[in-house]
Amino acid sequence: MADEPLVLGIETSCDETGVGIVRGTTLLADAVASSVDTHARYGGVVPEIASRAHLEAMVPTIERALKEAGISARDLDGISVTAGPGLAGALLVGVSAAKAYAYALNKPLYGVNHLASHICVDQLEHGPLPEPTMALLVSGGHSSLLLAPDITNDVRPLGATIDDAAGEAFDKIARVLNLGFPGGPVIDRLAKEGDPKAIAFPRGLSGSRDPAYDFSFSGLKTSVARWIEAKRAAGEEVPVRDVAASFQEAVVDVLTRKAVRACKDEGVDHLMVGGGVAANSRLRALAEERCERAGIRLRVPRPGLCTDNGAMVAALGAEMVARGRPASDLELSADSSLPVTDTHVPGAHAHDHDHVHEISKDNLYS
């Protein structure tokens, strides 16, 4: 049992109500209810609408996942849930449900980190993560480079965006081009018919004196918007496909370049790419190309596992059980700004026998 724990994971940090069930690194069920269509007319996720939708979808999604997995809840070895980071009210619905479920079934509860879950989900696709793993996480809420010697208790931030997340930039450019929300999929589609070299948009923080692993997409966003406005002001037609392709190229160029550099600098021969933007076809292709050239093995889960889902939370929960990490207690709270270094939220009285690891966790910014 300890090698292949059966775990149900709940994810409600943003606009997807996700419930996944895994046995060790095997995916048994991945049920997702999304409120994205309701948010589309607002051009972004509205927290209160997301929270209301989570409450409605929570129990039906749990029941659907159990049915899909064909298991009995009594057989579970644990319940895991995204404790943060994310939207406070949205997280609270999932955390409350997970606590009630764990309590009712008398199972251990694991409050886990959303970002670490995005990395761990790849175990369901490509087997156990190499240690350490380098991870590039890109979505509407985050853009980070993380070094993970142990996904259950040692994740180190190497760099992150200093302004907008990569996915946010896609949404904003889509809005400027009147393409609707969310922007990622539509820009990806149009870019396929455009020329990525048509317009030379800037690559943020790519100078020799810039921080090596941080990202910035705000300047790029402004520059693209300005270029479009200039065309419109001159009464010219905006070449939407070329703009989409050139903008997308600027984003994925910086992301992949910095990720590959981090792998080389840290001597890591694996790169994991996750988060909603990892569903972008050009990001996947360019990462593949550059990793191959650098002799790095690329691991990208299928698009459905890159976006937010419960399976990723279950995957990390199963790893917590397998490695004997301490469970959370019933006071577990949702923490909208849970730091990425807190891979999970052990209960107040829990001990981790792995003290050596804790102490050796150096802060890479100091």
Partner 1 sequence: MLLLAVDTATPAVTVALHDGTSVVAESGQVDARRHGELLLPAVDRVLAEAGVKLDAVTDVVVGVGPGPYTGLRVGLVTAATFGSALSVPVHGLCTLDGLAYAAGQDGLEGPFAVATDARRKEVYWARYEDFRTRATEPAVDRPADLAEQLAGLPVVGAGAVLYPEAFPDARGPEHVCAGALAALAAERLAAGAELLPPQPLYLRRPDAQVPKNYKVVTPK
270-274 and 133-138 beta bridge pairing = parallel
Q: Is 118 annotated as a binding residue?
A: yes
Q: Is 354 annotated as a binding residue?
A: no
Q: Is 280 annotated as a binding residue?
A: yes
139 binds, among Zn ion, partner 1, none (CB under 5 to 8 A by kind): Zn ion
Instruction: For 147, list phi and psi in degrees, rounded to 5.
Output: -105, 125
CB nearer to partner 1: pick between 301 and 310: 310
144 binds, among partner 1, Zn ion, none (CB under 5 to 8 A by kind): none
- Of 27-35, 134-142, 196-204, 210-218, which part binds Zn ion (CB under 5 A)? 134-142
CB atoms within 10 A of CB 43: 15
Quote the CA–CA distance of 116 and 95 in Å, as a whole number. 17
Q: Is 356 annotated as a binding residue?
A: no
Write the DSSP symbol of residue 327: P
CB atoms within 10 A of CB 47: 17
Give the nearest distance from C-beta 329 to partner 1 in angstroms.
Answer: 8
Q: Is 171 annotated as a binding residue?
A: yes
334 binds, among partner 1, Zn ion, none (CB under 5 to 8 A by kind): partner 1
348 binds, among partner 1, Zn ion, none (CB under 5 to 8 A by kind): none
CB nearer to partner 1: pick between 70 and 295: 70
Instruction: For 308, list phi and psi in degrees, rounded to 5.
Output: -60, 135
285 binds, among Zn ion, partner 1, none (CB under 5 to 8 A by kind): none
Q: Which spans of this chain sit near partner 1 (rule: CB under 8 A)?
A: 41-44, 46, 48-49, 51-52, 54-55, 58-59, 62-63, 73, 88-89, 92-93, 95-97, 99-101, 103-105, 172, 175-176, 222, 225-226, 229-230, 233, 330-334
Q: 3-class SS at 172?
A: helix
CB nearer to partner 1: pick between 24 and 184: 184
Quote the CA–CA distance of 204 and 159 in Å, as a whole number. 14
Q: Is 140 annotated as a binding residue?
A: yes
With residues binned 3-state (H G I as helix, E B as strand, rest as coil), the percentages for the chain, rounded to 5, are: 45, 20, 35
Residues 253-312 that bind Zn ion (CB under 5 A): 308
CB nearer to partner 1: pick between 223 and 341: 223
Question: Which of residues 25, 80, 117, 139 is near Zn ion by CB under 5 A?
Answer: 139
Q: Single out the residue of 164, 140, 116, 142 nearest to residue 272, CA to CA.
A: 116
CA 11 to chain centre: 11
CB nearer to Zn ion: pick between 139 and 246: 139
* HEC secondary structure over 102-146: HHHHCCCEEEEEHHHHHHHCHHHHHCCCCCCEEEEEECCCCEEEE
Give the nearest distance from C-beta 241 to partner 1 in angstroms.
Answer: 20
Q: Single out the residue of 301, 366, 6, 250 nearest to residue 125, CA to CA.
A: 301
Give the nearest distance from C-beta 61 to partner 1 in angstroms.
Answer: 11
Q: Which two tokens stand for residue 218?
A: 């705000």
Residue list, annotated binding site for Fe cation? 114, 118, 308
Residue list, annotated binding site? 114, 118, 137-141, 171, 184, 188, 280, 308
Residue list, annotated binding site for substrate? 137-141, 171, 184, 188, 280
